[in-house]
Amino acid sequence: MAAECPQKFRLDLMNIRTTLRSKILSVNKEHFAKLAVDAVMKLKLIYNFPEELFADAGILAIEHADFDGIEHPALVTGGEIASTFDNPESVKLGQCELIEEIMIGEDKLIKFSGIAMGQACTIFLRGASHHVLDEAERSLHDALCVLSQTVNDSRVLLGGGWPEMIIAKEIDALARKTPGKKSLAMEAFSRALLAIPITIADYAEIGRNAREVGSLRAEHQNEGCTAGIDVISGSVNMVERGICETFKVKQAVLVSATEAAEVILRVDEIITCAPRKREDRM
């Protein structure tokens, strides 16, 4: 009899806990139903019983969402992340037109459509190998960084080596008016700038790159020239083709390259270590 009492007591406690838990979850379900909530996202696991209650109320339960999976939907839908549901009326709810589960390859994803911030989107990258995927991710990251900088600074330049040709032309004109050794440094800087259009022609596999850059340089002697190197057809009008690049990125490239050249020129001498002598084991 004594052994049965503790066992019965434990069963009673479990029943009380289950009953209280059911009432609490039912209250939460009622709160969500009154708020006209269609979906609930949780960072951790959602147990079967609460999931059943949500399903009975027609509420989609999304579990195991990581921190990014919680923060990004909250940001784009205009919602607020809540740590408790004591006062659900004070929580700002996010809005979207459709939530659906889609399959991309073998991965299941939750897709939010018709969000409040209509310009937000998710880019899904796939590749044959990790190396290809990493390269694609780095390229995409660089492109997005350029776009973000363009939003902050909307100034653009013509592409295809046009900025370098213009700068080289102006430096050459200034070097002819500058006496002494400074003119030699200016001419060297001008030649370094012309290496960029030549490199563009090399990467485009244009076999006539030297002649192409020479004709391009001749065209830039005319005022208002907008010619540059097109990787397909050679030297063309950059305005007609719509080839351009951001001013901020071009400025950063030229400044960084100039600073690197200055650092190298300040080096007086490079001392290399002699190779280690191998012992003759004969």
The C-alpha atoms of residue 164 and residue 195 are separated, in whole angstroms, by 9
**Widest pairwise Cα distance in the chain:** 113
Q: What is the pLDDT of residues 187-219, one digit of tens each?
A: 889 888 888 888 877 776 655 555 666 777 777
Chain centre to alpha carbon of residue 102: 23
Amino acid found at 154: S
Question: Where are the CATH 3.50.7.10 domain residues in the chain?
Answer: 8-113
According to the per-residue pLDDT averaged within each range, which of 21-25, 87-91, 240-244 is highest? 240-244
Q: In Å, what is the CA distance from 261 to each residue of 43, 78, 264, 272?
A: 51, 49, 5, 21
The C-alpha atoms of residue 251 and residue 249 are separated, in whole angstroms, by 5
Count of positions (residues) in the chain: 282
Helix-, strand-, coil-residue percentages of the chain, each rounded to 5: 50, 10, 35
Confirm if 171 and 184 have CB atoms less than 8 A apart.
Answer: no
The C-alpha atoms of residue 221 and residue 15 are separated, in whole angstroms, by 92
Which of 1-10, 78-87, 164-173, 261-270 shows the lowest mean pLDDT across its residues? Answer: 1-10
Band of pLDDT at residue 1, cut at 50, 70 and 90:
very low
In CATH, which superfamily holds the domain spanning 156-265?
A: GroEL-like equatorial domain (1.10.560.10)
The C-alpha atoms of residue 243 and residue 228 are separated, in whole angstroms, by 9
The C-alpha atoms of residue 207 and residue 175 are separated, in whole angstroms, by 31
Determine whether domain 8-113 maps to CATH 3.30.559.30. Answer: no
- Summary mean pLDDT of the chain: 75
Which residues partner with 99 through β-bridges? Answer: 112
Residue located via tokens 């007609």: 240
Percent of the chain surpassing pLDDT 70: 68
Question: Where are the CATH 1.10.560.10 domain residues in the chain?
Answer: 156-265
DSSP letter, residue 117: S
Residue that wins the pLDDT comparison between 134 and 65:
134
pLDDT of 13 higher than 50: no
Q: What DSSP assignment string belongs to 128-175?
A: SSHHHHHHHHHHHHHHHHHHHHHHH---EEE-TTHHHHHHHHHHHHHH
Q: What is the pLDDT of residues 51-90, one digit of tens each?
A: 666 666 667 777 766 666 677 777 778 777 777 666 667 7
* Helices then strands, each counted (H, E), the chain: 9, 8
Element of type H or E holding 262:
helix 247-265
Predicted local confidence at residue 3, as pLDDT: 46
- The average pLDDT across 132-142 equals 91
